[in-house]
């Protein structure tokens, strides 16, 4: 998204929230039977029904359940007490909240700001309803009240959207100033969205301290040390809070939590950790924490660097399929993350990061993958007939190519130069080539190995490992064990990614959806059952190891195809 200009930002901030500019509502004009949970119903601007069911509470505002009269859509309505805002001179803060929230509301990972109204007593922000509430409460409930811990794969799913929004905010010189698990909300389809911009501000680049804002605010457990010491809030202060969020969901409890606020601040300043990470915490997670929760704010990563950190492209695919993992998702496996702020091109140059600060990439395996090639102006990457992964990068002089070649098992690496790209039958490395094993590969080549790894992952996500045919549909589970595709005999196609909860539906008439229409509910349930069978089959064959046979790819059932009679009626044939 493009950066916001000063004029655009100020235009929203100048919106008049202090004067009554709307027609008076008439509560009596709306007739509704009251219930014990939704008493004192009234209507604002003849558009939204406001109930008394509180779903959130703050110092001078509360969030209640509401409904859109036209669509019956449920919404969250933030009621801000005008009397308190005037007494405490908070009107400018409310104006800033509305301005910033409206600016970023179009981002998919931000709670949508739908409308705003006022009457004599309240300001009303009409917001998107996130049915599962805040992330901390949701995780605690899933863990039967014990803690808010979750797996690293789930952390990628839950907190990666927050980093994306933070990237947008910081690119526009906006700091959130109150990042915490309580301000990340969970929708009914388990999407996480950032909320509550009540403390967010736009930094002044002309001020000292790098545009830092001198104000003491935020949630005590998540406050950065420079805010406690100097009362200066910077972009990097948000990164500290983000690091504490990561730590909290890994350990199940905030790292610096004390008996009271003062003790918590002492723990933060002395880095006295009161909760501990699980023994199986990955080295990538440790590295990310060390580079976000550090006393020197200059050493903290930026949102862009966090999105490109090894933690987000590390994969941990589970072999067993589970539909009742406790998170209400189909699988807790997580595909490597490709940040949306970068190009979608498969062969674009990797973002340049100091290779000495990167974690060694996972080992490549091209078993069962068919030859495929992708290229752009300066780069060619391919899986060859011999299953080697070959990366050609044109030299800066424009004369020749640097070749990086990896064996099918990822163990052997050859590095050499050539005047022209290798042909299909060029299998011999020149005598001048340098050879390494995976364990001895120099750090300076890790980035290219990681680039090849990402390419292989993409190919695996589209290569069937298990295919099941039934009288209704054909279902493919890909080599990634995460991506899938089901084609019904009436022409309906359902595909997606399990861990990211992504789904794409193409109906027989060509209409496409990224959400599940009610009429396809039965088909989706059928696809879920087929995926369970696919994972069971994959697990069974994988455990039945053979030195003679590679059982995959596996096909189970009769191959069915569809024909149409003279009346145009479809029928399945075997």
More confident residue, 231 or 174: 174
For residue 487, pLDDT over 70 is answered with: yes
Q: What is the pLDDT of residue 215?
A: 60
Is residue 272 annotated as a catalytic residue, yes or no?
no
Give which of 450, 365, 440 is closest to 410, Cα–Cα: 365
Query: Among 24, 134, 178, 316, which one carries the catalytic annotation?
Result: 178
Q: Quickly tell me which residue has 């199940």 as its tokens.
A: 252
Domains of the chain (ranges; CATH) run 6-128 (3.30.200.20), 135-313 (1.10.510.10), 355-460 (3.30.1120.120), 464-573 (3.30.1120.130)
Q: Does residue 333 register a pLDDT over 50?
A: no
**Each residue of 17-27: pLDDT tens digit?**
332 322 333 33
Number of continuous H segments (helices) and E segments (strands) in the chain: 13, 27
Burial 196-205 (b: 16+ CB within 10 A, else e): bbbbbbbbee
Compute the Cα dihedral for 238, 242, 247, 249 and give only its sign.
Answer: positive
The sign of the CA dihedral 233, 234, 240, 241 is positive
Tokens of 145: 């009240």
Phi and psi torsions of 383, nearest 5°: -100, 120
Binding-site residues: 79
Q: Residue 28: pLDDT above 70?
A: no
Is the pLDDT at 334 greater than 60? The verdict is: no
Q: Does residue 170 contact residue 147 with C-beta atoms inside 8 Å?
A: no
DSSP letters along 502-539, please?
A: EEEEE-TTS-EESS--GGGHHHHHHHHHHHHHHHHHHH
State pTM to two decimals: 0.52
pLDDT digit string, tens, across residues 278-312: 888 888 899 999 999 999 999 999 999 998 888 88
Residue positions forming the annotated binding site for ATP = 79
Residue 111: pLDDT above 50?
A: yes
- Quickly state the pLDDT bin for 344 (edges 50, 70, 90): very low
- Which residues lie across from 42 on neighbouring strands? 50
> What is the pLDDT confidence band of residue 375, given thresholds at 50, 70 and 90?
confident
pLDDT digits over 115-157, tens only? 999 888 899 999 999 999 999 999 999 888 889 999 888 898 8
| Cβ atoms of residues 140 and 253 within 8 Å | no
Least confident of 22-36, 169-183, 359-373, 381-395: 22-36
State the chain's mean pLDDT as an integer: 79
Buried b / exposed e over 212-230, threshold 16 CB at 10 Å, is bbeeeebbbbbbbbbbeee
SS3 158: helix
């Amino acid at each position: 998204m493009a950066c916001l200009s000063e004029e655009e930002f100020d235009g929203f901030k100048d919106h008049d929230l202090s004067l009554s500019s709307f027609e008076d509502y008439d509560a009596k004009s709306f007739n509704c039977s009251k219930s014990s949970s939704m008493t004192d119903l009234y209507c604002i601007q003849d558009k939204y029904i406001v109930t008394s069911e509180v779903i959130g509470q703050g110092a001078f505002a509360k969030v209640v359940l509401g409904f859109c009269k036209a669509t019956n859509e449920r919404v969250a309505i933030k009621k801000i007490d005008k009397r308190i805002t005037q007494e405490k001179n908070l009107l400018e803060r409310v104006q800033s909240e509305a301005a910033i929230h409206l600016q970023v509301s179009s981002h998919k990972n931000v709670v949508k700001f739908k409308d705003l109204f006022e009457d004599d007593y309240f300001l009303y922000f009409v917001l998107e309803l996130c049915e599962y509430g805040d992330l901390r409460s949701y995780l605690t409930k899933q863990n039967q009240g014990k803690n808010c811990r979750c797996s690293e794969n789930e952390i990628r799913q839950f907190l990666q959207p927050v980093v994306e929004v933070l990237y947008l905010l910081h690119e526009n010189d906006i700091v959130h100033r109150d990042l915490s698990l309580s301000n990340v909300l969970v929708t009914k389809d388990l999407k996480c969205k950032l909320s509550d911009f009540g403390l967010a501000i736009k930094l002044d680049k002309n001020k000292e301290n790098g545009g830092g804002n001198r104000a003491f605010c935020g949630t005590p457990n998540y406050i950065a040390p420079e805010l406690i010491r100097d009362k200066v809030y910077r972009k990097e202060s948000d990164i500290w809070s983000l690091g504490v969020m990561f730590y909290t969901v890994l350990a199940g409890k905030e790292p610096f939590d004390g008996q009271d606020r003062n003790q918590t601040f002492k723990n933060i300043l002395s880095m006295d950790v009161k909760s501990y990470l699980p023994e199986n915490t990955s080295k990538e997670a440790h590295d990310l924490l060390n580079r976000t929760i550090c006393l020197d704010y200059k050493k903290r990563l930026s949102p862009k660097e966090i999105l490109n950190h090894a933690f987000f492209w590390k994969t941990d695919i589970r072999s067993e399929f589970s539909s009742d993992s406790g998170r209400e998702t189909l699988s807790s496996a997580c595909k490597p993350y490709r940040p949306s702020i970068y190009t979608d091109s498969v062969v674009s140059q990797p973002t340049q990061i100091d290779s000495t600060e990167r974690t060694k990439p996972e080992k490549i395996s091209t078993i069962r993958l068919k030859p495929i090639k992708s290229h752009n102006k300066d780069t060619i990457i391919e899986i060859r007939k011999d299953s080697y992964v070959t990366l050609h990068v044109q030299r800066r002089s424009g004369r020749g190519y640097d070749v990086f070649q990896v064996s099918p098992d990822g163990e052997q690496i050859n590095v050499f130069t050539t005047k022209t790209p290798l042909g299909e039958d060029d299998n011999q490395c020149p005598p001048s080539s340098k050879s390494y094993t995976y364990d001895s590969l120099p750090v300076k080549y890790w980035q290219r190995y990681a680039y090849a790894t990402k390419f292989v992952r993409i190919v695996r996500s589209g290569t069937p490992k298990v295919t099941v045919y039934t009288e209704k549909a054909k279902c493919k589970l890909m080599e990634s064990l995460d991506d899938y595709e089901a084609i019904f005999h009436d022409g309906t196609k359902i595909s997606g990614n399990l861990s990211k909860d992504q789904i794409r539906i193409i109906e027989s008439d060509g209409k496409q959806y990224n959400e599940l229409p009610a009429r396809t509910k039965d088909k989706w349930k059928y696809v879920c059952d087929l995926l369970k069978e696919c994972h069971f089959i994959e697990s069974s064959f994988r455990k039945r190891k053979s030195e003679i046979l590679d059982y995959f790819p596996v096909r189970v059932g009769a191959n069915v195809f569809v024909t149409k009679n003279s009346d145009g009626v479809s029928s399945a044939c075997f």
